Amino acid sequence: MRFATKAIHAGQEPDPSTGAVMTPIYQTSTYWQKSPGEHKGFEYSRGTNPTRKALEECLAALENATFGLAFSSGMAATDAIMKLLKPGDEVITGSDLYGGSYRMFTRIFAAYGINFHFIDLSSPENIVPYLNTKTKLIWLETPTNPTMQIVDIAGVSKIAKAHNVLLTVDNTFASPYLQNPIDLGADIVMHSATKYLGGHSDVVMGAVMLNDEDLYKKLWFIYNACGATPGPMDSFLVLRGIKTLHLRMKAHCENGEKVASFLKAHFRVDKVYWPGFNDHPNHLVAKKQMRDFGGMISFTLKGAALKETFETASKFKVFTLAESLGGVESLINHPVSMTHASIPKEAREAVGVVDNLLRLSVGVEDIEDLLEDLEQALR
């Protein structure tokens, strides 16, 4: 099956008991057993639920993976992956990372004795000096949040495999429509399904996809034992959202390209971060590993201080000033005070997360309305 067909059908069959075309919301915590242990594969909904199971099969299919696991948030998915590690283990990750991941690594797992190296991943060779016998995991994000840097997944994977280190890719920004890290050699793909997969800003969820059965069993054990699994209603919402993922992503990419070009030509705009530009430092890698360039764009306001940046951010009428991304509606975000507030000033400024940076999640509204909104807000 190809992408759109999988998005609509994978994991889903008409309900055997009624013929319902849509997967029912199995709103139940527990399941009848004919005699102890004799059941239809479902015992208790923390571990297994039919609505979630349909979603997990669909998630796996979208990433060309064998196994999928849904978690109650993107951070819960990350938490489960990090629990594969032991005190003394080392992780190599990017210096330009989702704020919540940085916060979890430095303030939760560092205290459990896991050591993190936050490095510039723009070139895979940068990893080599940090590898040693304690290195167990490479964690990367591409495009990065919020400066849209591109990391060469196949290049990093080659180094990871040569040193027997697991590679996890946070594929939230690209979505499985634009990029499939497992095909490029990653061991684990993680998503905040809250974003493009759900696509309608009405649910918080995480996902993990992978091929290795032993690793899947370890992760399933953590998932069930620690219990950060989503309920059937949320599972249904993401299953429903995914049915239009390909249509939405096409529109996000089309609008994204037009908004990026508009910003690049605007007199009040200094830098524009978008991997589709020929002069983006890793444009060729983006072209190689992504099918298109997406609707996430960051830009700096020329010479603006914090106050002027706040004023501009508050002027938008179609773009909504809010955290998060990947929904049908356009959002504007001020990373320093919103999504990236948990990263220390020096660390964020070193990677370009400065006071006058704004991030857009370009939605699927009419492009004319989006450009007019940008025009009036930047006037």
Give yes or no: 195 in active site. Answer: yes
Instruction: Tell which one of 179, 192, 300, 330 touches ligand PLP (CB under 6 A).
Output: 192
Compute the residue count for the chain: 379
Q: Which is nearer to ligand PLP, 124 or 198 (CB)?
A: 198
* Under rule CB under 6 A, residue 98 binds ligand PLP: yes
Instruction: Tell which one of 51, 73, 157, 361 touches ligand PLP (CB under 6 A).
Output: 73
98, 177, 223, 273: which is the annotated catalytic residue? 98
Cis peptide before 87 (omega within 30 of 0): no
Among 6-14, 68-76, 255-263, 290-298, the segment contacting ligand PLP (CB under 6 A) = 68-76
Q: Which is nearer to ligand PLP, 73 or 147 (CB)?
A: 73
Site for ligand PLP in 122-151 (CB under 6 A): 141, 145
Strands 115-119 and 90-94: parallel
Rounded Cα distance between 59 and 68, Å, is: 6
Q: Which is nearer to ligand PLP, 146 or 155 (CB)?
A: 146
Q: 24 Cβ partners below 8 Å, 6+ apart?
A: 15, 18, 50, 51
Instruction: Tell which one of 11, 68, 94, 100 touches ligand PLP (CB under 6 A).
Output: 100
SS3 189: strand
CB of 171: closest distance to ligand PLP in angstroms?
9
Rounded Cα distance between 35 and 220, Å, is: 25
* Under rule CB under 6 A, residue 172 binds ligand PLP: yes
Q: How far is CA 188 from CA 65, 176, 262, in A?
A: 9, 13, 36
* Under rule CB under 6 A, residue 74 binds ligand PLP: yes
Contact track, ligand PLP, 262-301, x by CB under 6 A: ----------------------------------------
Among 16-24, 110-118, 170-178, 266-274, the segment contacting ligand PLP (CB under 6 A) = 170-178
Rounded Cα distance between 323 and 299, Å, is: 16
What is the end-to-end Cα distance of the chain in Å, rounded? 48
SS3 91: strand
Scanning the structure block, which residue is given the tokens 């507030």? 341
Q: How far is CA 96 from CA 3, 146, 352, in A?
A: 30, 8, 9
Q: Where are the beta strands (DSSP E) in 164-234?
A: 166-170, 188-192, 206-210
Rounded Cα distance between 75 and 369, Å, is: 34
Instruction: Tell which one of 56, 63, 170, 234 touches ligand PLP (CB under 6 A).
Output: 170
Among 69-77, 131-139, 248-256, 258-266, the segment contacting ligand PLP (CB under 6 A) = 69-77
83, 195, 348, 359: which is the annotated catalytic residue? 195
Answer whether 188's CB lies under 8 Å from 220's CB.
no
Q: Which two tokens stand for residue 294?
A: 């997406």
* Under rule CB under 6 A, residue 94 binds ligand PLP: no
Count of residues in contact with ligand PLP, rule CB under 6 A: 16
- Please give the residue whose beta carbon sits closest to ligand PLP in the complex: 74
* Under rule CB under 6 A, residue 204 binds ligand PLP: yes
Among 28-36, 95-103, 108-116, 232-240, the segment contacting ligand PLP (CB under 6 A) = 95-103
Among 96-104, 176-184, 218-226, 232-240, the segment contacting ligand PLP (CB under 6 A) = 96-104
15, 31, 46, 243: which is the annotated catalytic residue? 46
Give yes or no: 98 in active site. Answer: yes
The secondary structure element, H or E, covering residue 79 is helix 74-82
Query: What's the number of CA atoms in the CB half-sphere (13 Å) around residue 141?
Result: 24
- Residue ranges that bind ligand PLP, judged by CB under 6 A: 73-75, 98, 100-101, 141, 145, 170, 172-173, 192, 194-195, 204, 206
Q: Which residues are catalytic?
A: 46, 98, 170, 195
